[in-house]
Amino acid sequence: MIARENPARSGELVGCVPATEPAAVDSAVRRADDAFREWSKIPITERITALLGAAGAVSARSEELATLLARESGKPLADCRGEIGFAVAFLRWVCDRAPITLAPTEIDDAAGRLVVRRKPYGVVGCITPWNAPVILALLKLGPALVAGNTVVLKPSPLAPLAITEIVSLLPAVQVVHGGAETGRALVGHPLVRKVAFTGGDAAGREIAATAGAMTTPSVLELGGNDPAVFLPDFALADADYERLVMASFATSGQVCMAAKRLYVPRARVAEFTEAYVAAAERILVVGDPLDPRVTMGPVISAGAAARIRALLAASAGGTAVPLGRNAPGHDPLSGYFVTPRLVVGLDDDAPLVAAEQFGPLVPLLVYDDEEEVLTRANASELGLGASVWSADEERAFALADRLEAGFVFVNTHNRTGMSLRAPFGGIKRSGYGREYGEEGLLEYVHPAVVHAPAAFRPGGTGMAAGAYPG
C-alpha cells in the first residue's frame, strides 16, 4: 500500500492506494489495449456524452474532492476548488472543440481525392506529478479519451488520492500506483503507443530516452525557471502586486510556471520592493490548507523542505526578506512549512537564480537596460514561461516576442494568465509538445491519409513510372 500523510499535519494519515508492482503494469496495459478496440470504434458523439457525464459527476463531488486534494497536497482549499473547477471546464472545452478539431478533411478535386482522418494511437501512458495532480492528469486524459485512445495513468505517489477518485468516474482509464519503477514499466511497455509526461527534468530525460529507443511518440512537460521582466514604465496597483506575489507563491512556489526570477529596473527597485513586501503582507497568509484565511500551505515533503532550505543557505551574498504572515494560531512546526522569502542581491549564477527553486523563495534581480535583461532572461536552459510587465502593451508584446519561452504572459504570470484555448508547453530543456488548445487535442491523434491521385483514378491520364507528380 502507498500511504499518504497530510504535509500540513505530520503523522496524519489522509488515505492509501494499492501499490502496483511493475509486473502488474502489464495487466493494466493489456486491459487498456483490449478496451481500445471498443472505445475507439464508438462514434465521437458517444464518447463526448460519456465524458460530459463524467465532468458533471466530478463537479457534483467537487467540495469533497477539493478537501481530499488539500489534505494530501498541502494546497489551500480555495486552490484545490479552483484546480478541480478548471479541470472540469477543460474537459467540457475539449468536448466542445473535439468534433471540429478532430474532424476528417476530404478534398476531391483535379489533383485527386485526399482524405485525412485524425486517428487515436491506442493506449496512452500518462505520468503526472503531485503539484497539480488533477488538472495535469485531465490535460492528458480529456484529449486522449475524446479522440478514442484508452489510458493508463500513473499519478505521483505524493498526491494519488483525489485523482484516483476522479478517474473512477471516467471511462476507459486504468490507474497504476507507484514511483519511478512503476513509471518505467509503463513507459517501456510495447503496447503503449504514446507517452504523456509532466514532471522534472531528470525523469523527463530518462522517459524521452526510453520512448525514443522504442519509437514511442511522447509529449514532455518539464520544469521552468520563468523570468518576470518589469519594463521601466511598469505601472502596478496594489491588486497587481498581490497577483504578482501569488504568481510566485501559489502552491508554496511549487508550480512549473511560477514567476521564478524577478527582473526590476534599477531606478525603480526601492519602490518595487516596498510595494511587493506590503502586498505580500496583505495576501500571503501561511497556515493549514483547510483554514479559509490561508493562501499558502506547506511544501510537499520533508525532503522538499530540506532541499529548499539548502538552496537558501547556498545563496551566499543575498539578503532574504521574510514575506507574508502566519494565520492566527498557526504552528509552523506542525508540518513541512517553509517561510516565504524575497531574496535580493544575488548574482545570476547563484543556485537560487540559475536553477528551478520549486519552493517559496524568489530572487529579485536588478537590471540597467533592455538588451541586458533580455540576454539574462534568456540565459536559462529552461524555456517554459515568462512575463513582461509594462504600461505599454505594444512594448510588452515586442519584448515578449524575443523571450525564449513557450508561453509569455503580459502584465500577469502563472495561472491567472492561462487560457483553455492557448497551447501551453516549453522549449529548450522544458520539454516538447503542448497541452491546452487545439495543439493539445492534436497530440493524441495521428493524421491517417488515404490518397487517390487524379492520374490513376478512372479517366485519369496516368504518369510515367517513377515520375514525381507535377
Of 222, 236, 285, 441, the residue at the interface with ligand NAD (CB under 6 A) is: 222
Q: Is 200 in the site for ligand NAD (CB under 6 A)?
A: yes
Q: What does the alpha-carbon distance between residue 467 and residue 308 come to, in Å, rounded to a whole number?
A: 64
Counting DSSP H helices and E strands in the chain, the numbers are: 15, 22
Cα separation, 311 vs 300, in Å, equals 16
Give Cβ neighbours of residue 123 (< 8 Å, ≥ 6 apart).
29, 32, 33, 36, 149, 150, 151, 152, 189, 191, 192, 193, 194
CB of 159 to ligand NAD, least distance (A): 9
Helix, strand, coil percentages for the chain (3-state, nearest 5): 40, 20, 35
Angle at 17 between CA 15 and CA 20, to 5 degrees: 160
Is residue 460 near ligand NAD by the rule CB under 6 A?
A: no
CA distance 356 to 308: 10
Told to check if 4 binds ligand NAD by CB under 6 A, we report no
The yes or no reply on residue 129 touching ligand NAD (CB under 6 A) is yes
Helix or strand holding residue 135 (H, E): helix 133-146
Choose the catalytic residue: 80, 95, 126, 256: 256
Strand-pair partners of 3: 16
Give the integer Cα–Cα distance in Å for 85 and 97: 18
Tell me if 223 contacts ligand NAD by CB under 6 A. Answer: yes
Binding characters for ligand NAD, 163-192, by CB under 6 A (x = yes): ----------------xx--xx--x-----
Give the interface segment with ligand NAD, choosing from 1-9, 201-209, 308-316, 363-371 (CB under 6 A): 201-209
Q: How far is the CB of 280 from ligand NAD (least distance, A)?
A: 22
Residue 196 binds ligand NAD (CB under 6 A): no
Catalytic residue among 72, 80, 126, 221: 221
Chain positions 330 to 369 lying near ligand NAD, rule: CB under 6 A, are 356, 358
**Residue 154 touches ligand NAD, criterion: CB under 6 A:** yes
Cβ neighbours of residue 334 under 8 Å, at least 6 residues apart? 8, 9, 10, 288
- Which one of the spans 21-29, 215-223, 274-282, 335-343 is the region binding ligand NAD (CB under 6 A)? 215-223
Nearer to ligand NAD, 146 or 384 (CB): 384
Mark 391-430 with x for binding to ligand NAD (rule: CB under 6 A) and - for no binding. -----------------------------------x----
Q: How far is CA 245 from CA 250, 257, 364, 384, in A?
A: 8, 13, 12, 19
Nearest residue to ligand NAD on Cβ basis: 183
**Interface of this chain with ligand NAD, residues 379 to 398, rule: CB under 6 A:** 384
How far apart CA 326 and CA 313 sit, in angstroms, is: 22
Active site residue 221: yes
52 SS3 class: helix
CB of 20 to ligand NAD, least distance (A): 12
Q: Where is 201: in which H helix or E strand? A: helix 201-213
Active site residue 126: no
Question: Where do contacts with ligand NAD occur on this chain (CB under 6 A)?
Answer: 127-132, 136, 154, 156, 179-180, 183-184, 187, 198-200, 203, 206-207, 221-224, 256, 356, 358, 384, 426
Point out the residues that are catalytic. 221, 256
